[in-house]
Structure 1
Amino acid sequence: MSPTLAIVGAGAKAVAVAAKAAVLREMGVPVPEVVAIERTGVGANWEAAGGWTDGRHRLGTSPEKDIGFPYRSSLVPRRNAELDERMTRLSWQAFLIDTGQFAEWVDRGRPAPTHRKWSQYLNWVADRVGMNVVLGEVCRIGIDAGRRWAVHTHDRTVSADGLMITGPGQAERSILPGHPLVLSIAEFWHRAAQRELICADRVAVIGGGETAASMVNELFRHRVSTVTVISPQVTLFTRGEGFFENSLFSDPTGWDSLTIQERRDAMWRTDRGVFSARVQEALLSDDRIRHLRGRVAHAVPRDGRIRLTLKTTRGNENLETVHGFDLVIDGSGADVLWFLPLLGQDARDLLELGLGRELSGAALEESIGYDLAVTGVTPKLFLPNLAGLNQGPGFPNLSCLGLLADRVLGADLSGAGEPEPSLGRRSDAHQPVR
């Protein structure tokens, strides 16, 4: 029997891995059985229901960077060209052709699709390959008696020889939960999806990345006097989107020859804490936008406003300043370590033993190997969202999904124990998405 690879989340990364596994299986190549555990549905974070968007905003990445990109497979010697050709049948263009939208998309100048359209594409791929999805919210991750991963939802357990964690975490978190003048990412997009106008004089958006950028872009149509973006950076940087920057994401060859500092600099310049060029262009035409440098240390409601305490450094001095706002939107972005509270003590012990030190984000990030898994840990734990520093900046996002699938499916899961036939396999409880 094939080993089982469980994936938490059914977004683009999970669909890419499941699709390539299905195509390899059609070619007679042994691959793991892939099962995704998802609380809402395939591609949910690209829909309003996921809490990260209203579905109407545009994809920041070119849609041609689809689930097979960059179509340079290396898994099957002498048959990789065949594998890539088969994967093109699941491409963005193939989706448009199949749904009768290709000519219109070309005639319109190949625009970036809306988030909702991208979700429809992911669902189309999942349907075509019979992706195995277990609906349920993961509440605990542990190790079972067979030394395999045990992924628990509220009503079932999936055992697996390898586990991949995806997704940005929970969009509901905020610096002041439940307060009407502080909106989480999910609360903001829920109001936007309902076409509810925000009316406020002074609005603060916390965060300098693309999550915050899309919120600022949405606020242009609302009745606000000023929008202040709060981020640690000295200014609002524009993401590098030229050929040389983009090629770092599509092809990480040579990435490991860079120093750690050079890699961090490249990721900050092109991916983290930056706004897309499209959003920056819109900012230039709107004089309501401001920027404050600092990290939010405290948020206190007072006199009908929210007072934010910002910490900054000037030379060797640590400074604190207080600013008042009528509405605060916490768009500080995704948390790549969102899964840590789900780990049982047995799982935490396993990771700390493999890491050789205390479990932390830095320790995990520095441990990611070529296969995008934590080095020294069996059964395998794949963390593509933490793979940017060691393996290349394209793995945490949508920039090289086909290469990501190659790395994960090429990993050796045999050391994780024998799979049990009743778990992680397709059955009446694990039906393909339709």
Structure 2
Amino acid sequence: MTGTLAIIGAGPKAVAVAAKAAVLRDMGIPVPQVLAVERTAVAANWQSSGGWTDGNHRLGTGPEKDVGFPYRSTVAPRRNAELDDAMLRHSWQAHLVATGQFAEWVDRGRPAPAHRKWAQYLRWVADNVGMDVVRGEVTSMGVDGSRWALRTEMDTESTTINADAVMVTGPGQAERSILPGNPRVLSIAQFWHRASAHERITAERVVVIGGGETAAAILNELFAHRVSTITVISPQVTLFTRGEGFFENTLFSDPTNWSGLTLAERRDAIARTDRGVFSSRVQDALLADDRIRHLRGRVAHAVARDEQIRLTLHTDRAGESLETVHGFDLVIDGSGADALWFTDLFTQDALDLIELSLGGPMTGERLQESIGYDLAVEGLSPKLFLPNLSGLNQGPGFPNLSCLGLLSDRVLGADLTESADRNSRRSHEHQPLR
């Protein structure tokens, strides 16, 4: 495809697409101009400044699953082997060789790198391929004719970026919490900023809200702090361990047979291996610490009272809805990751267009079920790529780091040359659904 592809966020997915586009361009294959709109820096969420980590915790995915993995390209017919060979120049191992770290990494048993080391790798790739990064925060997404119009702001200046397609990445805002402004409630960003500053947390009863890998990383850090009890609140019946064997991992790196599964089978596979589960490494640490407890349910309400934070917990049991109240000295809201964070950016004209494509009001479920092979919303022009929502339809590896090379193939292989007047025809034939 040709034209301009704007990517919101300059994380691993953006770097992978930019790298693949640069290699294809060097091979003489037409590709779009790729530009990333980033409010801070490349790989910011993997550094302490991004609010999602202190930078010292270990990467949950093997670093060999880098920007070109699994090196099984399909986007350059008859030249895919050449493409894979060229992408190896931007691999994790190539980075280590270039920076004099390869032998030490091998001698240490190929350990998972710290998040800050992963950020260094991503920045190395971005620099090598001349990744085009526009500094700014996207504040709205509208439609200008047959193109997207992204309004961005940086400091006191604002500008509009027009693009033939947009890819949305990123987990949302780490600053969000259930009780903003209360010193006894920490957002993900507030917690990691304390950890980065080596501030020791001292409390009797601490609770972490969330059962996914974000909450697991927080727990892993809390083990070293002076707390008496740590309670984990999640909707699952228990704290499940993520499946990390060969067969589970294959689902992430090779989605060939994913479309042959029923919807129920796909949901079950994601629940067992990816959604709301802890890595085996974190589970081993949990087993060794008798301060950990688990409460099943969803937090419905939070209030500060008697020098505590009282959480109202909603739980469904045997067909009945129960509410219980629990008091804690410190609450860490680890549920901040939100795959739908970008939906508030759409202007009314963009929202109308999306709802026409979805056949109804925009919901998370409708968006997930609309994602096509190219990781974009089917039937929507201009293209909107949503890899973070593509797991259900296309495979669980696309929302995370498990098959960045396949992700870039799907996106760069998409057709942006569809008739530009498709949307205008639709707007005359239909009215937005409400």
Match of 1:99 in 2: 99
The SS at the match of 1:138 is strand
Per-residue deviation, residues 81-129 of structure 1 (Å, max 9, x unmatched): 0000000000000000000000000000000000000000000000000
- For 2:232 and 2:177, how far apart are their aligned partners in 1? 16
- For 2:36 and 2:159, how far apart are their aligned partners in 1? 13
Match of 1:340 in 2: 343
Aligned residues: 417
- For 1:169 and 1:152, how far apart are their aligned partners in 2? 18
Per-residue deviation, residues 3-43 of structure 1 (Å, max 9, x unmatched): 00000000000000000000000000001110000001100
Match of 1:278 in 2: 281
The answer on whether the counterparts of 2:177 and 2:336 sit within 8 Å (CA) in structure 1 is no
Match of 2:181 in 1: 178
Per-residue deviation, residues 55-81 of structure 1 (Å, max 9, x unmatched): 000000000000000000011111100
Match of 1:66 in 2: 66
What amino acid is aligned across from residue 65 of structure 2 in structure 1? Answer: K
Q: Which moved further from structure 2: 356-365 or 409-418?
A: 409-418
1:358 to 358, 361, 367: 361
Match of 2:332 in 1: 329
Match of 1:14 in 2: 14
Query: Which ranges of 4 or more aligned residues in structure 1 deviate by more than 3 Å?
Result: none
Match of 2:403 in 1: 400
What amino acid is aligned across from residue 112 of structure 1 in structure 2? Answer: A
The answer on whether the counterparts of 1:61 and 1:399 sit within 8 Å (CA) in structure 2 is yes
Are 1:36 and 2:28 an aligned pair?
A: no
- For 2:285 and 2:266, how far apart are their aligned partners in 1? 29
Match of 1:159 in 2: 162
- For 1:88 and 1:63, how far apart are their aligned partners in 2? 13
Question: How much has 1:333 moved relative to structure 2?
Answer: 4.0
- For 1:64 and 1:171, how far apart are their aligned partners in 2? 27
Are 1:188 and 2:188 an aligned pair?
A: no
Task: Summarize the alignment of residues 355-434 of structure 1 with structure 2, pairs less than 5 Å apart.
Answer: 355-415=358-418, 417=420
Per-residue deviation, residues 230-252 of structure 1 (Å, max 9, x unmatched): 00001000000000000000000
Match of 1:421 in 2: none
The answer on whether the counterparts of 2:55 and 2:114 sit within 8 Å (CA) in structure 1 is yes
Question: How much has 1:332 moved relative to structure 2?
Answer: 1.0
The answer on whether the counterparts of 1:6 and 1:37 sit within 8 Å (CA) in structure 2 is yes
Question: How much has 1:147 moved relative to structure 2?
Answer: 2.0
Question: How much has 1:2 moved relative to structure 2?
Answer: 3.7
Match of 2:427 in 1: none
Question: How much has 1:224 moved relative to structure 2?
Answer: 0.2
The answer on whether the counterparts of 2:309 and 2:328 sit within 8 Å (CA) in structure 1 is yes
What amino acid is aligned across from residue 4 of structure 1 in structure 2? Answer: T
The runs of 5 or more residues in structure 1 that have no matched partner are 419-434
Question: How much has 1:416 moved relative to structure 2?
Answer: 6.6
- For 1:314 and 1:282, how far apart are their aligned partners in 2? 29
TM-score by length of 1: 0.95
What amino acid is aligned across from residue 376 of structure 1 in structure 2? Answer: G
- For 2:419 and 2:56, how far apart are their aligned partners in 1? 43
The answer on whether the counterparts of 1:395 and 1:401 sit within 8 Å (CA) in structure 2 is yes
Q: Structure with the greater relative contact order (CA < 8 A, sep ≥ 6): 1 or 2? A: 1
What amino acid is aligned across from residue 149 of structure 1 in structure 2? Answer: W
Match of 1:424 in 2: none
Match of 1:135 in 2: 135
Match of 2:317 in 1: 314
- For 2:20 and 2:84, how far apart are their aligned partners in 1? 9
Change (3 A) 1:165 1:389: same
Per-residue deviation, residues 182-225 of structure 1 (Å, max 9, x unmatched): 00000000000000000000000000000000000000000000
The answer on whether the counterparts of 1:16 and 1:401 sit within 8 Å (CA) in structure 2 is yes
The answer on whether the counterparts of 1:203 and 1:327 sit within 8 Å (CA) in structure 2 is yes
The answer on whether the counterparts of 1:7 and 1:14 sit within 8 Å (CA) in structure 2 is yes
Question: How much has 1:334 moved relative to structure 2?
Answer: 1.1
Match of 1:147 in 2: 146
Match of 2:431 in 1: none
Match of 1:431 in 2: none
- For 2:66 and 2:336, how far apart are their aligned partners in 1? 23
Match of 1:201 in 2: 204
Question: How much has 1:415 moved relative to structure 2?
Answer: 2.6
The answer on whether the counterparts of 1:379 and 1:416 sit within 8 Å (CA) in structure 2 is no
Match of 2:424 in 1: none
- For 1:70 and 1:258, how far apart are their aligned partners in 2? 22
Match of 2:430 in 1: none
The SS at the match of 2:218 is helix
The answer on whether the counterparts of 1:161 and 1:417 sit within 8 Å (CA) in structure 2 is no
2:308 to 296, 305, 308: 305
